[in-house]
Amino acid sequence: MAPNKPQKTSDSFSNSGFSTQSVHAGEARQKLGNSITDPIFCTATYTFADTQSAIDFVKLKLPREEYARYGNPSEKVAERKLAALEGGEEALLYASGMSAVAGLLMARVKAGEEIVLFDECYHRTRELCASILSNFGVKTHLISTADYQQLEAAITPATRLLVSESPTNPHLSVIDFERFVAIGRKYNVETVIDSTLGTPLNQRPLEYGVDYVLHSCTKYLAGHNDMLGGAVVGSAEKMEPLRKLRGVLGMVLGPHNTYLLLRGLKTFELRMRRHNENGQAVAEFLASHARVEKVYYPGLPSHKYYQLAKQQMSGFGGLITFLLKGANAQETSAVVDAVGIPRIGPSLGGVESLIEQPIVMSYHDFTREARLALNIPDNMIRISCGIENPEDLIADLKQALER
């Protein structure tokens, strides 16, 4: 099992525990105005005392800011903290999770080159590759998730990236990082894992040799359903072209959202352990209920990737997908409507539990045939367990299922 403690970094808290790093890593001991929290820098531009100061900044590449599209002091703090937690050399923040996906793909793939993408990746990631990057001459091979023979067969001399989530959403399939990385290295192709559902606490893709780890910071990292943000973590060398492109495209995280991310990270381990506890308890309850046909959760022995998940992960998160036995779309909606604690809505990873019917939310613009081809049936429900008491969540789901 990969270790649950961040790798050593140059940070003074590199040998500390996970929560200690979540609170202190990347931060100065004494901050502007002697504040204990990092200030919010609401500025578009940064001024120079005189012309010589500006010349020195340009020529000597001094570590200060010039214009907000290229950086913000608190953004740098959050990036250092995320890099420490993920065990990478550098992190790069973006305006949203999809901005991070787009920024990475656009920086690493150009016209005439190819991406290989597992088919359980987030539907907007699939759309970005198949419908948008294709307009710029980038070809995407969409293959069955965790089919490593098909993955290897899809690689051509033009392939530049192998991309997957792990666990995937909403089926929670788990990618074998060792096999994934080995195939990439065999053909000199870089590897990308979207670890939004995995989180830096529960799994460590970089330790297996994955080149880039992606996060939607909107989810577990910030954790309060109140901001949008994304991040890519990797080596300093690999981050440099991404940083330059982000400055050109302006995919930057705003100062208030940076503050909310920093605030959320302070309690990340505490929250995540409750998400793990709630997810496991609710998944076990659902698996035992007579009205439930199937539960997708990697912490259950019945899950297809349970053994692999146990090897790679130290916890399994709060997201659960399940099927109602013999239910049609309307009957499934009735269960969603009957719960009293989870709110109906998209997203996941916040302190409040959320519930949704994927055919209503994420896949409403797909035909039924297209949805079924992606294994998104009418009787599917997805629940993101927040940090409420697990017995309350279970009692609420029980009354909804039995109403």
Closest CA to 302 of 286, 324, 313: 286
- Cα 55 to Cα 37: distance, rounded to the nearest angstrom: 32
Closest CA to 349 of 199, 124, 135, 126: 199
Are 297 and 275 a contacting pair, CB within 8 Å?
Answer: no
* Sheet containing 319-324: order of strands: 292-296, 319-324, 380-384, 354-356, 343-344
- Mark whether 297 is an active-site residue: no
Dihedral sign for Cα atoms in the order 312, 177, 209, 317: negative
Instruction: Annotate 129-164 with three-state secondary structure.
Output: HHHHHHHHCCEEEEECCCCHHHHHHHCCCCEEEEEE
- Mark whether 194 is an active-site residue: yes
Catalytic residue among 94, 122, 208, 305, which? 122
Decide: helix, strand or coil at residue 116. strand
- Cα 127 to Cα 130: distance, rounded to the nearest angstrom: 5
- Cα 95 to Cα 113: distance, rounded to the nearest angstrom: 26
Catalytic residue among 80, 81, 139, 219, which? 219
- Mark whether 122 is an active-site residue: yes
Catalytic residue among 11, 81, 139, 194, which? 194
Closest CA to 332 of 268, 379, 382: 379
Residue 162's beta-bridge partner residues? 116, 191
Catalytic residue among 31, 46, 56, 69, which? 69
Q: In one letter, which amino acid is 159?
A: T
- Mark whether 212 is an active-site residue: no
Are 249 and 262 a contacting pair, CB within 8 Å?
Answer: no
The residues assigned a catalytic role are 69, 122, 194, 219
